[in-house]
Structure 1
Amino acid sequence: MSVFKKPHIIMTGCSGFVGNNLLMKLCESGYKVSTLNRKKSLVSFQHKSVSHYYADDFATALEDALKNSSCDVFIHLAGAAHKPELTESDYLKVNVELTKYLARKAAMLGCKRFIQLSSIGVNGSSSSTPFTASDIPAPKESYSRSKYLAEQEIQAICASSDMEYVIIRPPLIYGPFAPGNFQKLVRLVKKTPIIPMGGIDNQRSFVSIYNLISFIEVTIEHPNAANEVFLVSDEQDISTSDFVNKIISSYKQRTLLISLPWSILRPALKLIGKEKALEKITSNVTIEMNKSISLLDWKPPLTIEESLEKSAFHESNKI
């Protein structure tokens, strides 16, 4: 890629949590971005460097976008996330078939690099040792399996074309107004005076939206990112109890964190249907970052504490 001219980026998923934050950062960095969208009502960010394209399907939106510009880098963030109502076939249709179509189209049109946001779930649901990018994939859920299949499709398409791939597998992503388990934890901290999660002795890797966006931006042009799978985190492994404590501190809450034996806590959570949700964030999921750091000369710009304080500030000021 040219070092003199920033590549033109086509991106999906700009209305989502990661996509919206990434889009704002790319504009700050001087990139021109075309976004593919299904619904105009979901797109709020406007900027002189961004062109939004709308259609009932991404194929039509992509064709419209390419009438006005070439595609240097394709960043694919759109997909079906964890939702109980989705079936295996739903995940396959959105996360695999759509990804395969867009990757093929991008390769045909001379796109130089295809960046796919995957999931650490491709490595597995838990591990006694840190996950690495070279591990044999062991996805356990429909969502993770679909993400792994999408990775395979992208790699096969790139192997038969001149397009490079970059696959990024993050763990739990947190930040201001983040959906999923992080926002559930924030709501719990804000609304519950006493939380019985103080005795969870596990180890987990997390990644803040700020560090993830920084990492994605590096992979857009870095030559060493070509045809690589990366794991990314804040590079601070802590227990779920410590993470909740840091949320309490950063969000300036008076919530009391107490310890209850898992033998008591688990049956209580099962009664209210929260057992699986808690098990998901109390298992051991850690990431080895040597490859990401050495190949790309990248370090997370913010610590967990700094990221949480920034998140709390943005939420309180609705930024």
Structure 2
Amino acid sequence: MTGASGFVGRHLVPRLVSSGHDVTKLKRGTDAGQGAEASPEVITGPSDFAALRPDHIADHPPFDAVIHLAALNPDRGRGEASNDHALIRANRDGSLALFRAVEAHGARHFLFLSTANVHAPSDRPIDEASPIAPLDAYARSKAMAETALLEAAKTSRIRLTILRPAPVYGEGGRGMISLLKRLAASAWPLPLPATLGERSFVSVEALSSAIIACLDRDGMGAETYLVADAEPVTPAALIARLRTTRGRAPGLIPLPNAILRTAAGIAGKGPAFQRLIEGFHIDARKLRHATGWSPEPNTLAALLRQSADTGRTRQR
């Protein structure tokens, strides 16, 4: 596994172990630590495996599966988030180099964690056949990685699984859910667009179980699956529910979309605003039917449960 120390990896590793899998973590550097294989120091990014050669893992028995979670994914607003060259080198070229290395080593299954954001927002449910239309540099690099891996898999004996998760939430996560939780915790009334589309999310626990379900499924060739909780939610409903569970009024102030769109355009945030108000409802039926995987039935309920569990943990 790559990315074992990241947000998803920290949740996935103990789930894999408890499911009976032996996990080897691929880490950078010569001092990889117990249960990990060293990869060369010249790797310059979290998933930049361009310099990885089969002899670096030659002493390890063939892997049943390789789970590639690691990615270069800077926070939005930082300069690196729009650096196409760095993102493509790490996320496309690095992923393909890792695929080739473990292919030569005899691996039988390569699971690649992509992103549902390779699709654009839509007023219709998004499935695996929906157009590929990434809106940012990170999603573009992931879409390019998918294309490169699918092409490589055509002439390989490795089974390829590509997972496109919705934005992932859970303890230690970041991204939109983390931002909405911070907004909900603020004491101030919150102006929001008058109309907001429903958006899909996925809990890190549900994503971990989806990965395990794909590992346990027999098959050949290449498959792509979207991963999401069963029901989408609007950002306004999420903030309101988080506030009311704390005994507070929702404090949401609806403003005309036209006014906020103009303000966002002036601030250079037009695409981000458009992404916020449009729907992003993911249809994950293909994964459920293929593997028997069960998603979280309700994002709000799962988020509130996690928040309660986190609060109890901190009190101990």
TM-score range, shorter-chain basis?
Answer: 0.7 to 0.9
> What's the counterpart of residue 69 of structure 2?
77
In the alignment, which of 78, 92, 98 is matched to residue 102 of structure 1?
A: 98
Is 94-103 or 287-296 further displaced after alignment? 287-296
Is 70-79 or 182-191 further displaced after alignment? 182-191
Conservation of the 8 A alpha-carbon contact between 1:116 and 1:166? yes
> Residues of 1 paired with 2:88 and 2:299: CA distance?
34
> Residues of 2 paired with 1:176 and 1:279: CA distance?
28
What is the CA distance between 1:255 and its match in structure 2? 5.0
> Residues of 2 paired with 1:40 and 1:178: CA distance?
28
> What's the counterpart of residue 190 of structure 1?
185
What is the CA distance between 1:38 and its match in structure 2? 2.6
> Residues of 2 paired with 1:243 and 1:226: CA distance?
39
Q: Are 1:16 and 2:6 matched, yes or no?
A: yes
Query: Across the two proteins, how many residue pairs are aligned to each other?
Result: 303
> What's the counterpart of residue 30 of structure 1?
20
Q: Letter of the aligned partner of 1:104 in structure 2? A: R
In the alignment, which of 278, 281, 289 is matched to residue 283 of structure 1?
A: 278
Amino-acid identity (%):
26
Q: TM-score, normalised by structure 2?
A: 0.84
For each residue in 1:79-112, what CA deviation from the matched residue of structure 2 results, as whole angstroms up to 9, or x when unmatched? Answer: 1115431211011110011001001111111111
Task: Find the residue that maps to 2:61 and give its secondary structure.
Answer: coil
Task: Find the residue that maps to 2:231 and give its secondary structure.
Answer: coil
Conservation of the 8 A alpha-carbon contact between 2:229 and 2:297? yes
> Residues of 2 paired with 1:225 and 1:238: CA distance?
35
For each residue in 1:282-312, what CA deviation from the matched residue of structure 2 results, as whole angstroms up to 9, or x when unmatched? Answer: 3211112221121222221453133202321
> Residues of 2 paired with 1:37 and 1:251: CA distance?
41
Q: Residues 281, 198 of structure 1: CA spacing in aligned structure 2 closer, same or farther, 3 A cutoff? A: closer
What is the CA distance between 1:193 and its match in structure 2? 3.0
Q: Residues 22, 281 of structure 1: CA spacing in aligned structure 2 closer, same or farther, 3 A cutoff? A: farther
Task: Find the residue that maps to 1:94 and give its secondary structure.
Answer: helix
The RMSD of aligned alpha carbons is 3.0
Q: Are 1:303 and 2:293 matched, yes or no?
A: no
Q: Letter of the aligned partner of 1:143 in structure 2? A: Y
> Residues of 1 paired with 2:198 and 2:3: CA distance?
30
Q: TM-score, normalised by structure 1?
A: 0.83
Conservation of the 8 A alpha-carbon contact between 1:234 and 1:302? yes
> Residues of 2 paired with 1:228 and 1:140: CA distance?
23
